[in-house]
């Protein structure tokens, strides 16, 4: 609990910095810092698999892709000039934030064993996955065995992303 | 084509870091059933190490051939995943129900274990190849724009 509050403050700071900074390359690096901080938060909350994915994809691969994209741009393209925020956004954003906070008050407490998420089907997985699949890591057992069709479709999505990037970005030399 | 990096320091460091990163990626991929990790993360680490290799050591093949081969590898990863599901169908069960993988001498849990391992390899191949192909696509857009206009 002692580390969570500073991490959350740092998370908000990096998120704001990535939006407010003038140079896009700086923004990319601050975004990488944001992902890494988010990974630390996931790890503290006990979701190690999510933290691993966030650290590797958000702080690693996405940063590389952003940088490779920015290398193709000129310096005048990466300097952003922002118009001042319209008054409707200034009015609407606090209202939405208050609504979200109001909604979050009704969420079950963190780690509550009586919450719907922990009573519906999670106990079945937790109790049976080792006997049924021989896999001690429940997350992998769920992703790859119980929910393998979802994972297959996710893999198809990644495959499609690769093909779409190749089709859109590669021009000439047919 | 990306040229090799000029600096000796960068190339030497790359020669040390890249094999370690690939070994770690493979470890994460295989160890995903016992700890955090799995096919997706392992594939991304493998992709990152290969992108690092491309950026540091350069690429000596013309673009079109390499990207075509890379995209074929992309299909192979998906084919492994769907193929395991198809083997379950052939074995007399539902799609991706690893109980019906017809491997003699294995009980039900071990069949699930093998099925999970195989599909993880499929996901890792798909993710790694997709990452590399996106990186190649992004960097090859650079080369076409280097042609001076007028």
A98: in domain: no
- Same domain flag for A3 and A66: yes
d(CA A106, CA A32): 32
A104: in domain: no
Establish if A74 touches chain B: CB-CB under 8 angstroms.
no
User: Which chain B residue's Cα is nearest to A163?
Assistant: B71
- Same domain flag for A67 and A141: no
- The ipTM is 0.84
- Same domain flag for A56 and A126: no
Write the CB contacts of B122 (distance below 8 Å, at least 6 apart in sequence).
A155, B39, B77, B78, B79, B80, B81, B82, B83, B84
B54: in domain: yes
How far A93 CA lies from chain B's nearest CA (Å)? 35
pLDDT digits (tens, 9 = 90+) for B129-138: 899 888 888 8
d(CA B35, CA B28): 8
Establish if B60 touches chain A: CB-CB under 8 angstroms.
no
- Inter-chain contact B113–A133, Cβ cutoff 8 Å? yes
Report chain A residues whose CB lies below 8 A from the CB of B41: 49, 52-53, 56
pLDDT digits (tens, 9 = 90+) for B30-80: 988 898 888 899 999 999 998 888 888 876 656 566 666 766 677 888 899
Could you say which residues from 127 to 156 on chain A have a Cβ atom under 8 Å away from some Cβ of chain B? 131-137, 139-141, 143-145, 148-149, 151-152, 155-156
Q: Enter the tokens of residue A64.
A: 């590389």
B23: in domain: yes
B83: in domain: yes
A167: in domain: yes
Establish if B29 touches chain A: CB-CB under 8 angstroms.
no
A89: in domain: no
- Same domain flag for A5 and A62: yes
Domain-ending residue, one of A82, A103, A136: A82
pTM of the model: 0.85
- Same domain flag for A119 and A47: no
- Inter-chain contact B116–A171, Cβ cutoff 8 Å? no
Query: What is the average per-residue pLDDT within A95-122?
Result: 88
- The total number of structural domains in chain B stands at 1
The boundaries of the domain holding residue B42 are 8-145
The boundaries of the domain holding residue A64 are 1-82
Farthest-apart Cα atoms in chain A, separation: 60
User: Within 13 Å and on the Cβ side, how many CA atoms surround A62?
Assistant: 17
d(CA A146, CA B92): 18
Which among A73, A106, A37 has a CA at the least distance from the CA of B145? A73
- The total number of structural domains in chain A stands at 2
């Amino acid at each position: 609990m002692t580390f969570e509050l500073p991490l959350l403050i740092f998370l908000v700071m990096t998120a704001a910095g990535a939006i407010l900074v003038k140079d896009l390359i700086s923004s990319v690096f601050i975004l990488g810092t944001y992902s890494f901080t988010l990974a630390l938060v996931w790890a503290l909350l006990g979701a190690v698999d999510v933290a691993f994915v966030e650290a590797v994809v958000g702080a690693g691969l996405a940063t590389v892709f952003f940088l490779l994209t920015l290398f193709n741009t000129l310096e005048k393209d990466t300097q952003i000039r922002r118009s001042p925020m319209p008054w409707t956004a200034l009015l609407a954003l606090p209202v939405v934030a208050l609504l979200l906070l109001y909604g979050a008050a009704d969420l079950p407490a963190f780690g509550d064993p009586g919450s719907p998420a922990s009573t519906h089907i999670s106990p079945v997985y937790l109790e049976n996955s080792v006997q049924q699949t021989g896999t001690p890591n429940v997350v992998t057992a769920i992703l790859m065995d119980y929910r393998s069709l979802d994972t297959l479709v996710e893999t198809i999505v990644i495959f499609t992303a690769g093909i779409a990037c190749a089709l859109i970005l590669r021009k000439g030399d047919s | 084509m990306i040229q090799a990096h000029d600096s000796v320091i960068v190339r030497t460091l790359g020669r040390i870091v890249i094999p370690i990163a690939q070994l770690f990626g493979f470890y994460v991929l295989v160890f995903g059933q016992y700890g955090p990790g799995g096919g997706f993360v392992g594939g991304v680490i493998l992709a990152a190490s290969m992108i690092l290799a491309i950026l540091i050591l350069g690429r000596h093949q013309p673009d079109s051939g390499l990207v075509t081969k890379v995209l074929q590898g992309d299909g192979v990863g998906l084919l492994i995943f769907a193929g395991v599901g198809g083997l379950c169908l052939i074995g007399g069960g539902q799609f991706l129900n690893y109980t019906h993988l017809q491997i003699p001498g294995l009980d039900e849990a071990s069949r699930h274990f093998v099925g999970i391992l195989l599909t993880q390899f499929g996901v890792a191949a798909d993710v790694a190849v997709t990452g590399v192909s996106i990186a190649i696509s992004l960097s090859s857009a650079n080369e076409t724009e280097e042609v001076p206009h007028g």
